[in-house]
């Protein structure tokens, strides 16, 4: 198989189209695996609490990034939270986007957590999203143990 070099405009130079395409298998780690397993098996979102600064982190991790001490206190979080910020992506990038644009992303502070969780927003009018909106996690029917086991967060109707 050959690569067809292309002219770069009228510069007299060539472009050589190629790619770096490689499969990866990232290890999630013990803490992350438990986080995903709970979502997968029980549809529950857990955070982890630092005994020193008392922040509850989600996604959970082994070491508190702020205090650099180990964390072991798991905290079950609500599946509902408040939208801190959002955007609607209106351009297409082949290969990396989970949905056809336009699609909405937000950072959600789940009740009980100190940090925000970045995720998709669904069942929502893309022209009527606002900071402070209450949203709730919608889980996928078939879950694989990854970030998209949460399908998206949808607005909670008062």
For residues 127-156, which are near another protein according to CB under 8 A? 131, 145-148
Q: Does 93 bind another protein (CB under 8 A)?
A: yes
**Least gap, CB of 92 to another protein (angstroms):** 9
The torsion angles phi and psi of 131, rounded to 5 degrees, stand at -60, 140
Nearest to 58 by CA among 37, 38, 32: 32
Q: Does 36 bind another protein (CB under 8 A)?
A: yes
Token digits of residue 114 = 């100190």
Interacting residue with another protein among 78, 98, 111, 156 (CB under 8 A): 98
Interacting residue with another protein among 43, 53, 61, 140 (CB under 8 A): 61
Q: Does 106 bind another protein (CB under 8 A)?
A: yes
Q: Does 60 bind another protein (CB under 8 A)?
A: no
Q: Does 99 bind another protein (CB under 8 A)?
A: yes
Strand pairing report for 45-49 and 73-77: antiparallel
Interacting residue with another protein among 116, 138, 151, 154 (CB under 8 A): 116
Is-contact 111 78, C-beta < 8 A? yes
Interacting residue with another protein among 53, 71, 80, 120 (CB under 8 A): 120
Q: Does 59 bind another protein (CB under 8 A)?
A: yes
Total residues contacting another protein by CB under 8 A comes to 81
Q: Does 103 bind another protein (CB under 8 A)?
A: yes
Contacts (CB under 8 A) with another protein, residues 15-34? 15-34
Q: State how far the Cα of 97 lies from the Cα of 75, in Å rounded to an integer.
A: 31
The torsion angles phi and psi of 32, rounded to 5 degrees, stand at -65, -35
Output the furthest CA–CA distance in the chain (Å, rounded). 64
């Amino acid at each position: 198989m050959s690569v067809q070099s292309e002219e770069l405009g009228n510069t007299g130079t060539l472009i050589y189209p190629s790619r770096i395409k490689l499969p990866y298998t990232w290890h999630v780690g013990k803490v992350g695996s438990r986080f995903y397993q709970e979502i997968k098996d029980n549809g529950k979102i857990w955070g982890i609490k630092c005994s020193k600064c008392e922040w509850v982190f989600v996604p959970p991790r082994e070491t508190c990034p702020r205090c650099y001490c180990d964390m072991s206190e798991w905290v079950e979080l609500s599946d509902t939270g408040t939208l801190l910020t959002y955007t609607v992506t209106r351009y297409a990038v082949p290969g990396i986007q989970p949905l056809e644009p336009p699609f909405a992303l937000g950072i959600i502070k789940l009740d009980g957590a100190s940090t925000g969780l970045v995720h998709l927003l669904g069942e929502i009018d893309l022209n009527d999203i606002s900071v402070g909106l209450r949203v709730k996690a919608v889980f996928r029917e078939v879950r694989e143990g990854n970030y998209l086991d949460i399908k998206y967060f949808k607005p909670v109707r008062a």
